[in-house]
Amino acid sequence: MHELTGPVWLIWLETSALAIAMRQWLWLYPIVEILHIVGFVILVGAAFMFDLRLLGLSRHVPVTDLERHLLRWARLSLWLVIPSGLMMFVAHATEMAANPAFRLKLILIVAAGLNAFIFHKGIFKSVKTWNREVETPWAAKLAGILSLILWTGVISCGRLLAYL
């Protein structure tokens, strides 16, 4: 194994029993990565479908019904995405932490979360007035566009991790 350089806590993570298992057990890493992919397909897929409704598509479908159905699965999918992501991170902690795509990915994930939080605490409070068959307000459209851009960025950074 190459000489590990970096903060002590990252070296501690990368030399942990979990990290060694993730690197040495033939099928563990691929299975964890598959769970990561299944998780973010549900998360980002649900977000995208909700965002397209915010942009005014499928106006016959009440926004509240979509929110109740899609965003529940998006939240539940985090139980797959985050633990699997952390397990893959631990396996190569010093390298990943230094990878610009990983750092940008975490920033974009926080920004996407913040965008969703501001949407729910803000314009979504008035959803009853634009729930069905009417133009969605610009603030809802903006939240939808930002979400589409941010989650596309997260996925792009995730894929680029292997190249940088």
Nearest CA to 13 among 87, 86, 85, 93?
A: 93
x/- map, 127-156, ligand HEM, by CB under 6 A = ---------------------------xx-
Separation between Cα atoms, residue 40 and residue 22, nearest integer Å: 20
Half-sphere exposure of 76 (CA within 13 A, CB side): 9
Number of residues that bind ligand HEM (CB under 6 A): 20
> Which is closer to ligand HEM, CB of 99 or CB of 136?
99
Q: Of 27 and 138, which CB lies nearer to ligand HEM in the complex structure? A: 27
CA 48 to chain centre: 12
Among the residue ranges 62-70, 88-96, 122-130, 131-139, the one whose residues contact ligand HEM (CB under 6 A)? 88-96
Nearer to ligand HEM, 144 or 158 (CB): 158
Using a 10 angstrom Cβ sphere, with 0-12 exposed, 13-18 middle and 19 or more buried, the burial of residue 140 is: buried
Binding site residues, ligand HEM, CB under 6 A: 33, 36-37, 40, 43-44, 81-82, 85-86, 88-89, 96, 109, 154-155, 158-159, 161-162
